[in-house]
Amino acid sequence: MAAAATAGYAYLIQLVGYHIWRAAHLAARQDGRIAMEDVQNGIAAARREFERAVLETAIAGLSKTAMEYLLAMAQDAHASSTAEIARRIGVPSSSLTATRSLLITRQIIESTGRGYVGFSTPFMRDYLLANRSALLSRYGVEE
């Protein structure tokens, strides 16, 4: 369960391990075992810290267009077509070239093939979907 929660991302491996150990330590079990409850609590704490420290930091200060680009990507379970992203936003694909380049430079997304992009960081899609309204409200957009 702990390994799956990291998605193989090095920083998450450290966070999950630390938070599981901390949860077990706080539970002060006499036998020194780590219980399933410790694993679940540790994963939840690690995920919250990862969202704050990594995901939120990655998207901080993005333009409204860049955020719309990411939210349009988040609708896809896997790689996103750049043409489809443009269609969802309602602009020509050519007008998003600079936005795509910026998001790649900031390592938020990556090219997965000609005309396709995917998220570079695990759980970014989930974070964007779960916080869509709050993210858009930063730009004065109400849903």
What pLDDT digit, counting tens, does each position of 63-97 carry? 999 999 999 999 999 999 999 999 999 999 999 99
For residue 70, the model assigns a pLDDT of 98
Pairing type for strands 80-81 and 109-113 reads unpaired
Share of the chain above pLDDT 90, in %: 92
The pair of three-digit structure tokens given for residue 7, joined into one six-digit string:
């998605």
For residue 30, the model assigns a pLDDT of 76
Band of residue 32 on the pLDDT scale cut at 50, 70, 90: confident
For residue 143, the model assigns a pLDDT of 79
Q: Could you identify the residue written with the tokens 């409204």?
A: 64
Question: How much is the mean pLDDT over the chain?
Answer: 95
* pLDDT over 90 (residue 28): no
Residue 131: CB atoms within 10 Å? 16
- pLDDT (average), residues 119-132: 97
Rounded CA separation 64/141 (Å): 9
Instruction: Kindly state the greatest CA–CA separation across the chain.
Output: 63
Rounded CA separation 98/64 (Å): 13
Closest CA to 20 of 2, 8, 5: 2
Burial of 134 from C-beta contacts in 10 A (0-12 / 13-18 / 19+): exposed
